[in-house]
Structure 1
């Protein structure tokens, strides 16, 4: 497969690796971007690669809670300026309220009534008024004994760049108090899963493969190589334990008190975290970078 400059550039941006290393990784993996990232990590040539680093879509996340039910709704726009538009903010707030009351899916919410028209029709009208494409992209519903919400980079009440919901069991007053701290923690750390039991097994297997290859590679190039038994019984399990601790909510060090895990902090407060949702604007959407100079040159040539 032919490796293009664009592919090398993309891999460099994703991994932080040098140009020649990125090119070699793509050659070794026949252009497979994810495999190339793993190859670079195995060689110790890549920084932690997260797809979220490529996110560039705009808009707002709305959150709302009533009793034991909470929703987080993402509505995208083309530019961040629209997030400051009062018309757009009011629409986002209304749609979030409808989602809380009636919706379990985006399709149900789009078909719901909003002042005599469907939500989808209201969005279409807003596109004409605001002058940008708008998209009701996704929503998360969370239910539990107590639901606590938090918005980061707030643009208004219940609206922000990141919306978090946390479900807890335990005394209402304690759940509300520490639940807000847990929600802020989740906004900051973006855990991949509640616990090891709920973590995607495919992701775990992929990480295990990377850490195994990396440990063996490091050992083979070491002046004092360790017995393979030590590699497989100590080093690799240790690295996987660290991976799980860093990427599962209950296993993470609590940002308010790093001496405790989130799970222990919850126990000390007399509550249990049963679920969470974290929605960040544009998460998982790639935005094409525009080369302004090239665009101008193209226009002049035309």
Structure 2
């Protein structure tokens, strides 16, 4: 049997996106032949997918696709960021994003849609889990559409065309042309990626989030020792400030840090002589809200290859 080194396991993992233990097994089964090991991984049975389903999938890719007055964003998760570099995984995310653009953003309905291969999104995803060797999931999708104008897309931390770590869509309802809407939408999308607004308008913020901020503000104000009527004014002032900073239209534009976003849109409308309304937006950040498991990559590679891991010497006990 060929000597399977940690370097070989790591190289196959980077090339295939498969899990390390699967890579080690593939190399062992094929006598260390990298190409044959790749083929072995691709031909694994679907039963392997079930074993991966309990693993936390918080990495992966966000896909963004636009076509004139429509745009879609999709998040597909995997266990590690190695998979984001896998061409099979990238092709899957890209195609699913296009399907969402054409059919809608109900994630469950999207899973039942047919892909170019003729099989459903769910079946292709299950096969990918088996061949790539990591748990994966179609987490969410969102589509925006305007009656006239444009939906502009932007990808931050781009991994490939239309794929990255943060995906943004900006819906601009307008009778202005693309020469006006595209650059405006791109700047607004970059702002959204950086500033992380929680709603379009302050009145659209989650009521539970607002009440939590109100409770925090009340506790802080109570420490001032001021009369109750003054404390209430302090609380309402703090809540108003939070709404202003959390809502997209009232946030200060990141390009100059002084102009509210709604004024940026109004200025573009005035200069173009057209009506422009920022109707909606989407911001998907990869793994947002998913509790990630901590792991030691070096230790995993060593364990997979059978190489003992070095440990730091323990300090001598003192008298």
Is 1:287 aligned to 2:289, yes or no?
no
The residue aligned with 2:261 is 262
SS in 2 for 1:259: coil
CA drift of 1:292 comes to 8.8
Q: Is the 8 A contact 1:196 1:244 kept in 2?
A: yes
Pairing 1:1-302 to 2, within 5 Å after superposition? 57-114=58-115, 115-144=117-146, 145=148, 146-170=150-174, 171-172=176-177, 173-217=179-223, 219-220=224-225, 226-233=226-233, 235-270=234-269, 271-290=276-295
Q: Is the 8 A contact 1:127 1:133 kept in 2?
A: yes
Q: Is the 8 A contact 2:200 2:281 kept in 1?
A: yes
Cα distance in 2, alignment partners of residues 214 and 267 from structure 1: 37
CA drift of 1:236 comes to 2.3
Cα distance in 2, alignment partners of residues 165 and 91 from structure 1: 20
Query: Quick one: structure 1 residues 56 and 195, their matched pair in 2 at CA, closer, same or farther if it must change by over 3 Å?
Result: farther
CA drift of 1:103 comes to 3.0
Structure 1 or 2, whichever has the larger Rg, is 2
Q: Is the 8 A contact 1:56 1:286 kept in 2?
A: no
Q: Is the 8 A contact 1:169 1:175 kept in 2?
A: no
SS in 1 for 2:245: helix
CA drift of 1:189 comes to 1.1
SS in 2 for 1:60: strand
CA drift of 1:169 comes to 1.9
1:224-268 CA distance string (max 9 Å, x none): xx44433323x3233222211211101110001212001111111
Gaps of 5+ in 2: 1-55, 270-275, 303-307, 309-319
Cα distance in 2, alignment partners of residues 94 and 262 from structure 1: 33
SS in 1 for 2:159: coil
What is the aligned-residue RMSD (CA, Å)?
A: 2.4
Cα distance in 1, alignment partners of residues 281 and 256 from structure 2: 20
Cα distance in 2, alignment partners of residues 292 and 175 from structure 1: 45
The residue aligned with 1:49 is none
Query: Quick one: structure 1 residues 75 and 294, their matched pair in 2 at CA, closer, same or farther if it must change by over 3 Å?
Result: closer
How many correspondences in the alignment?
A: 237
Q: Is the 8 A contact 2:57 2:137 kept in 1?
A: no
Q: Is the 8 A contact 2:72 2:142 kept in 1?
A: yes
